[in-house]
Amino acid sequence: AFPLAAGLLSGYPAGANTVAQLYEQRRISLSEARKVLLFCNAPGPLFVLGTAGTTFFGSPALGYAMLLAVFVGTILTGISYRSIPTDSNNQMPVLPTQKKEPFSLLFSSAVKDALLTSAQIGGFLVCFCVLQEGLAQAGFFDLLSNALSFLPISPEFLQAFSGGLLEMTKGIHGVSLSPDSLRLRASAAVFLLSFGGFSIFGQILGVLRNVPISPFSLLSAKIRQAFFSVLVFQCFYFLAETQAQKAVPVFSTHTATAFPTLYGLLSVLLLCSLLLERQK
């Protein structure tokens, strides 16, 4: 449950990073780690609400609909994998009892891990942004849009969505600017948010360097999660459709770019539980 909560509240790749730590500490078995990794990764609420919903689409209401779709899609993905057996005693040797470390050392270690993870995320982001721009300059996306010109979508949408499969942030921004219908653009954004793009996929594999897991199983799980999220979004789109038509200034005092009080409390409780868990 803890990696799932971390993935939903903190975003990519917090869920995978938590699973890797639990497996390295031998608190979960390899089969348990492989199962949880299939559905514990999701975009953070701040990015979905503040960046995708409010900044790119100009609608906090649409951002909440996206966030709901992503969260429910993640849960449905986990339910769909419930039949995979797990063995709580699989590859879990008995380790000697570790002495409790002082809070100052735990805090220093947490800051160090956060900085290393942030540097890794930034590296993947830069690499895939450069790759996406290189393919665009080489005319790959133009060639792809010409080959798929029979589809009832604009070339701008197709190029942005294809690029988003590599790096989702630029892809979602490009999709939001395309001349297609709002429903199609928002649905594509939800797909990219749940799938994450190959940049996010690389970040997840990077934090799982000590966890033996098949990349293909993770990739298929992300695709399944993306389709579940889009289906859920179609069910809730009508709730935000009216508000989504109203453009909202990015830095308006009425936009929902800040966390609600409940989410803030959940974040504090999550941090406290992590520190307490490390002290045990």
Q: Per-residue b/e over 113-144, b at no fewer than 16 CB within 10 Å?
A: eeeebeebbeebbeebbeebeebeeeeebeeb
pLDDT tens for each residue of 96-152:
455 667 777 777 777 777 777 777 777 888 888 888 888 888 888 888 888 888 888
Residue 98 lies in a domain: no
CA-CA-CA-CA torsion for 34, 35, 41, 45, nearest 10 degrees?
-150
Residue 99 lies in a domain: no
Residue 164 lies in a domain: yes
pLDDT tens for each residue of 7-58:
888 888 888 889 998 998 888 888 899 999 999 989 989 999 989 988 999 8
pLDDT tens for each residue of 48-89:
998 998 899 988 889 999 999 999 999 999 999 888 776 655
Average confidence score pLDDT of the chain: 81
Centre a 10 Å sphere on the Cβ of residue 158 and count the other Cβ atoms it contains.
23
- Say if CB 179 and CB 154 are below 8 A apart: yes
Residue 180 lies in a domain: yes
Domain that holds residue 253: 2-90+104-279
Cα end-to-end distance, the chain, whole Å: 18
pTM of the model: 0.78
Q: How far apart are CA 46 and CA 43, in angstroms?
A: 9
- Say if CB 164 and CB 170 are below 8 A apart: yes
* HSE (side-chain half, CA atoms, 13 Å) at 65: 27
- Say if CB 238 and CB 155 are below 8 A apart: no
Residue 18 lies in a domain: yes
Residue 123 lies in a domain: yes
Residue 242 lies in a domain: yes
Count the domains in the chain.
1
Residue 197 lies in a domain: yes
Name the amino acid, one letter, at 276.
Answer: L
The pLDDT value recorded for residue 226 is: 94
Q: Band the pLDDT of 256: cuts 50, 70, 90.
A: very low
* Rg over CA atoms, the chain: 20
